[in-house]
Copies of this chain bind each other. A is one copy, B any other.
Amino acid sequence: MTRRTTILGLSGIAAIATLAVWAAAPPAEVPYPANYRDWTHVKSMVIEPGHPLHGTFGGIHHLYGNEAALKGYRDGKFPDGAVIVFDLLEAVSADHTVTEGARKVVGVMHRDAVKFAATGGWGFEGFAGDSRTQRVVGPNAATACFACHQAKRDREYVFSEYRP
């Protein structure tokens, strides 16, 4: 066995070991944002039929941020632990009003630069309706969420801005 072969062999073993660990570790999960309704309300918006995102995000949505997220909104740097909630409700139109209907999804961006390095340092998840356990994104964050959020790289991938 040449020295070169030995090195390659060791590298190969190391690579296999790394892959094994990687495969065994469960992907980092975004926790349900308990008590987010008591967080600061960042802004709101209605997305109506006819909008290209209506299928996914149609309704009235409110953004909420915890204290770390508010720091990020202020100075552009979101520290680990920052959590932003996108709370999407049905928009009920009647009698010249739009009121809030049933909850459609609780979308979450959870900042952890190491755990979620593959998606810009943010974990993305959605919880269906009022469920705290029914996940609608799971392992698809890169395509289902981050693909669009990449457009906001210069704002740490955050679309919303705090409305005073």
Contacts and interface: CB of A to CB of B under 8 A. Distances in A.
Interface of A: 37-38, 40-41, 43-51, 54, 60, 62, 64, 95-100, 130, 163-164
23 contacts: A37-B40, A38-B40, A41-B41, A41-B62, A44-B44, A44-B60, A44-B62, A45-B97, A45-B99, A46-B46, A46-B60, A46-B98, A46-B99, A47-B96, A48-B96, A49-B96, A50-B96, A51-B95, A51-B97, A54-B96, A98-B98, A100-B163, A130-B164
A95 to B, nearest CB: 7
Contacts of A51: 95-97
Contacts of A96: 47-51, 54
A111 B101 CA distance: 29
A48 B100 contact: no
Closest 5 CB pairs of A and B: A51-B96, A46-B98, A41-B41, A50-B96, A48-B96
Given A46-B97, A54-B96, 5 more contacts: A37-B41, A37-B164, A38-B40, A45-B100, A47-B96
Contacts of A97: 45-48, 51
A77 B92 CA distance: 29
Contacts of A45: 97-100
A55 to B, nearest CB: 12
Nearest to A163: B100
